[in-house]
Amino acid sequence: MTGLEKHSMTPHATGNPPARASRQQVETGRPKRMGGPPDFDADFRGRLRDLMIWRRDVRRFRREPLPDGALGRLLQLACLAPSVGLSQPWRFVIVDSTARRDAIKQCFKTCNAEALSDQSAERTSLYARLKLEGLDDAPCQVAVFADRSTSQGHGLGRLTMPEMIQYSAVLAVHTLWLAARAEGIGVGWLSILDPARVADILEVPPGWAFIGYFCIGYPKDECDTPALEQEGWEARRPLSEALLYR
Amino acid sequence: MTGLEKHSMTPHATGNPPARASRQQVETGRPKRMGGPPDFDADFRGRLRDLMIWRRDVRRFRREPLPDGALGRLLQLACLAPSVGLSQPWRFVIVDSTARRDAIKQCFKTCNAEALSDQSAERTSLYARLKLEGLDDAPCQVAVFADRSTSQGHGLGRLTMPEMIQYSAVLAVHTLWLAARAEGIGVGWLSILDPARVADILEVPPGWAFIGYFCIGYPKDECDTPALEQEGWEARRPLSEALLYR
């Protein structure tokens, strides 16, 4: 249904120029060594910057499904993210059940009503107009968790900062997000949910920390400005306001 | 000292092909619109995948300084990361003071001794051999925090998941990390530190959550395999072990 099984059969659906990975690479996550590290030139860096500029938190999706293999390819790339102690604590839950999707939607509605009532009087009407999720249209829905109980990594880097497990899962999310954008696929991160309720709906093991619920699909629009900025909710600030020297 | 001031004078030190950003873009973080979104083709996607494969957590640095403007450029790119409610809660503390760097190093030593004693008997000698930081050699050192008290974003997306503020700062870190790798610059994330002690050493405002301490500089080696895998600490697992269907 998600094309993950088919993925391993057709890893190169999007083309196979010389620089692309071999089938072995796709399946093991490791490249063949061919004369050392790749050269990332100024043209690539410029396009990487464009990718970062044009990556959006998407809430308006077209309903068409992703091509076979696309989600699997994105999840494989997500696993290339850094993780504390090489613990790879990210856990992906692909949500296809209509009943579970409906329950997530209900959970959002409840949490969003609370969030609306928590807003100041002067922002309530603007908040109510924002579209904050793409649950009705996104063809793919993936919940991401971080397994706090994993022994992988043997605890390295976690003793004073156990939250590194959650941070590692966030790094996987961002890796997937950028890779998706490079394929023209949009991702929307939904955090207006009750983590305990989501864990219950999806019946995940105890010890998994909820990171976010992700709507994935082709976006209706592409834009270089965040939706919340377009809609007048918030404006971006310059780097200088986020910088200290010590 | 860090080249940040000079950055705004020479934003294009690494070259300026047609696709690169204008000076205005670098300073505002917004591209000019020229016929819609860029086309990310198969060649770019292959190179993006290479970037993810060759991004390492670097602990062995060459001592040479980064070129003028490099750190500023990376921090500007980090600010393109997604953030909950457009809150941009990342805070970057550039640490140049020798006394503060020494105090961070001492903090690491204390925490790492605790971590060593926390390891199982059979892993102690392997743990003791690992090189886990590049504090002596990395020319740039940046601590990253997340400002939990920021009103930017007006609380959107944070009511049920206040940790979204920290996750947003992690997204900025990862953006910087990938952009750095594309310039041949390595980043090492140090989490074997006491967050309260680090906040004290760096005298940051209350309410800032410590995310990590980052060593940044040119790496001594480049490799497509994580150091912890090379050194026999841990091996990567296949995606299938991180996947559930619901």
Question: Does A53 sit within 8 Å of B228, measured CB to CB?
Answer: no
Q: For A101-112, how does the pLDDT look when each residue is reduced to its tens digit (9 = 90+)?
A: 999 999 999 999
| Token pair listed for B8 | 């705004």
Burial class of residue B16 in the structure, from the number of CB atoms within 10 Å of its CB (0-12 exposed, 13-18 middle, 19+ buried): middle
For chain B, the 3-state helix, strand and coil shares in percent, each to the nearest 5, are 40, 15, 45
State how far Cα B17 lies from the chain centre. 27
Under 8 Å between Cβ of A119 and B155: yes
* CB hemisphere CA count around B183 (13 angstroms): 26
- Which residues in chain A have their CB less than 8 angstroms from residue B166's CB? 163, 166-167
Question: Does A239 sit within 8 Å of B75, measured CB to CB?
Answer: yes
Under 8 Å between Cβ of A187 and A51: no
Does residue A187 have a pLDDT over 50?
A: yes
Closest chain B residue to the Cα of A38, Cα to Cα? B50
Q: Does B127 touch chain A (CB under 8 A)?
A: yes
- Which residues in chain B have their CB less than 8 angstroms from residue A40's CB? 47, 50-51, 181-184
Q: Centre a 10 Å sphere on the Cβ of residue B35 and count the other Cβ atoms it contains.
A: 5
Interface of A with B in 83-112 (CB under 8 A): 84-88, 90-97, 100, 111
CA-based end-to-end distance of chain A: 53
Question: Does B160 sit within 8 Å of A30, measured CB to CB?
Answer: no
Mean local confidence (pLDDT), B64-82: 98
The whole-model pTM stands at 0.88
- Which residues in chain A have their CB less than 8 angstroms from residue B161's CB? 191, 193, 195, 210, 212
Q: Which of A148, A151, A153, A142 is nearest to A208 (CA)?
A: A148
Tell me the shortest Cα–Cα distance from A217 to chain B, in angstroms: 17
Per DSSP, helices labelled H in chain B are: 4-7, 23-28, 42-54, 70-78, 98-118, 124-129, 164-182, 195-202, 227-230
Q: What ipTM was assigned to the predicted interfaces of this complex? A: 0.88
What pLDDT is attached to residue B35?
65
CA–CA distance, A64 with A138 (Å, rounded to integer): 8
Under 8 Å between Cβ of B217 and B145: no
Residue type, A216: I
Instruction: Output the average pLDDT for chain A.
Output: 89
Of A174, A195, A239, the CB nearest to B76: A239
Question: Does A48 sit within 8 Å of B48, measured CB to CB?
Answer: yes
Question: Does A43 sit within 8 Å of B19, measured CB to CB?
Answer: yes
Q: What is the dihedral of CA B37, B39, B44, B49, to 10 degrees?
A: 60
Tell me the shortest Cα–Cα distance from B68 to chain A, in angstroms: 17
CA–CA distance, B239 with B204 (Å, rounded to integer): 39
Does residue A4 have a pLDDT over 60?
A: no
Q: For B138-193, how does the pLDDT look when each residue is reduced to its tens digit (9 = 90+)?
A: 999 999 999 999 999 999 999 999 999 999 999 999 999 999 999 999 999 999 99
Burial class of residue A224 in the structure, from the number of CB atoms within 10 Å of its CB (0-12 exposed, 13-18 middle, 19+ buried): middle
Q: Does A39 touch chain B (CB under 8 A)?
A: no
Better pLDDT: A28 or B48: B48
Under 8 Å between Cβ of A152 and B237: yes
- Which residues in chain A have their CB less than 8 angstroms from residue B234's CB? 85-87, 152-154, 156
Q: Does B122 touch chain A (CB under 8 A)?
A: no
| Token pair listed for B196 | 């309260």
Burial class of residue A65 in the structure, from the number of CB atoms within 10 Å of its CB (0-12 exposed, 13-18 middle, 19+ buried): middle
Q: Which of A81, A129, A102 is nearest to A232 (CA)?
A: A129
| Block residue for tokens 């591209």 | B31
Q: For B205-242, how does the pLDDT look when each residue is reduced to its tens digit (9 = 90+)?
A: 999 999 999 999 999 999 999 999 999 999 999 999 99
Q: For B33-44, how does the pLDDT look when each residue is reduced to its tens digit (9 = 90+)?
A: 456 889 899 999
Q: For B91-114, how does the pLDDT look when each residue is reduced to its tens digit (9 = 90+)?
A: 999 999 999 999 999 999 999 999
Tell me the shortest Cα–Cα distance from A9 to chain B, in angstroms: 15
CA–CA distance, B105 with B173 (Å, rounded to integer): 21
- Which residues in chain B have their CB less than 8 angstroms from residue A14's CB? 42, 45
Q: Does A182 touch chain B (CB under 8 A)?
A: yes
CA–CA distance, B163 with B208 (Å, rounded to integer): 12
Of B33, B80, B225, the CB nearest to A52: B80
Does residue A86 have a pLDDT over 50?
A: yes
For the residues of A96-164, what is the DSSP string, one character each? --HHHHHHHHHHHHHHHHHHHHHS-GGGHHHHHH-----TTT-SEEEEEEEETT--TTTTTTTSS-TTH
Q: Does B13 touch chain A (CB under 8 A)?
A: no
The strand pairing partners of A90, in sequence order, are A146
